[in-house]
């Protein structure tokens, strides 16, 4: 679109740095997204970054937000592929299952992004009161909607809805973390798949209060 080479002004350095940061984070996690490497890759002096980010941390946070969106996209894609032909209740449960499995798969296939998405340094702590909604990330909102839909479809008793999002997110996020960092890490993929499925089923059972009826 614009002229290919600009001598001085880059034009959109901020997004270029975020893009480069995403590439670095993808293979090396949040620690790999370094100010000097990102600016070097873009072909700009290290200090140029300071015109667009207050801090290295600000860059990492911007990259983290993108990684969160990538996670949300992966979940949405998997949920959208839910097959037709199920009863409303079955479909709602199947969607919740897909949210969990997509979350875990993303952590395993895009480990660097997953780590980056949940990287937080405790700066910006007391900048006023932080309401929960301010920091709700895209994947979490997807989970909330899915659970609400389960209630609407009669797949989840309304009195079991409160706090259900935390139980689900905890189980899935915890397993994702363990599968990426913990002792499961070296197991063959097929074993991890089985464990993931088991954990997700257990989480669904825990939330609904009763195991799903077996069958196809």
Partner DNA sequence: GGTGAATGTGGACACTGTTCACATTCAGTG
Partner DNA sequence: CACTGAATGTGAACAGTGTCCACATTCACC
169 binds, among a second copy, DNA, none (CB under 5 to 8 A by kind): a second copy
Q: What is the DSSP string of 31-90?
A: GG--HHHHHHHHTS-GGGGGGT-SSHHHHHHHHHHHHHHHHHHHHHHHHHT--SSS-HHH
* 50 versus 140: smaller Cβ distance to DNA: 50
Q: Which residues contact a second copy (rule: CB under 8 A)?
A: 118, 120, 129-130, 132, 135-137, 140, 162-164, 166-167, 169-178, 181-184, 186-187, 194-195, 198-199, 202-207, 209-211
41 binds, among DNA, a second copy, none (CB under 5 to 8 A by kind): none
* Rounded Cα gap, residues 34 and 25, in angstroms: 9
**From 27, 47, 120, 205, residue interacting with DNA (rule: CB under 7 A):** 47
* Rounded Cα gap, residues 132 and 60, in angstroms: 21
Which CA distances in Å does 167 have to 112, 178, 203, 205, 208? 25, 16, 7, 11, 11
**From 1, 4, 5, 7, residue interacting with DNA (rule: CB under 7 A):** 7
Shortest CB 70 distance to DNA, Å: 22
**From 19, 23, 29, 44, residue interacting with DNA (rule: CB under 7 A):** 44
Token reading at 213:
């009826």
User: Which residues from 51-90 bind DNA, rule CB under 7 A?
Assistant: 51-52, 55-57
Q: Is 46 in the site for DNA (CB under 7 A)?
A: yes
Nearest to 22 by CA among 139, 122, 117, 138: 117
Shortest CB 8 distance to a second copy, Å: 36
* 50 versus 118: smaller Cβ distance to a second copy: 118
Say which DSSP state 32 is in.
G
Cα–chain center distance at 151:
24
Contacts with DNA: how many residues (CB under 7 A)?
A: 22
Q: Which residues bind DNA (CB under 7 A)?
A: 6-11, 13, 34-37, 44-48, 50-52, 55-57
């Amino acid at each position: 679109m614009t002229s290919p080479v600009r001598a001085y002004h880059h034009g959109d350095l901020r997004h270029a740095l975020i893009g480069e940061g995403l590439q670095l984070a993808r293979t090396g996690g949040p620690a790999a997204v370094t100010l000097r490497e990102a600016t070097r890759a873009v072909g700009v002096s290290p200090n140029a970054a300071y015109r667009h980010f207050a801090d290295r941390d600000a860059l990492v946070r911007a990259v983290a937000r993108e990684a969160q969106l990538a996670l949300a996209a992966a979940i949405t894609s998997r949920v959208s592929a839910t097959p037709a032909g199920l009863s409303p209740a079955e479909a709602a449960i199947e969607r919740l299952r897909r949210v969990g499995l997509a979350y875990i798969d993303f952590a395993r296939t895009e480990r660097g992004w997953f780590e980056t998405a949940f990287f937080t340094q405790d700066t910006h702590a007391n900048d006023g009161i932080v309401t929960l909604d301010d920091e709700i990330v895209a994947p979490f909102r997807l989970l909330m909607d899915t659970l609400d839909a389960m209630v609407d479809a009669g797949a989840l008793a309304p009195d079991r809805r409160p706090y259900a999002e935390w139980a689900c997110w905890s189980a899935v996020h915890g397993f994702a973390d363990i599968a990426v960092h913990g002792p499961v890490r070296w197991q063959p993929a097929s074993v991890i798949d089985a464990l993931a499925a088991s954990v997700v089923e257990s989480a669904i059972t825990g939330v609904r209060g009763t195991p799903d009826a077996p069958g196809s």
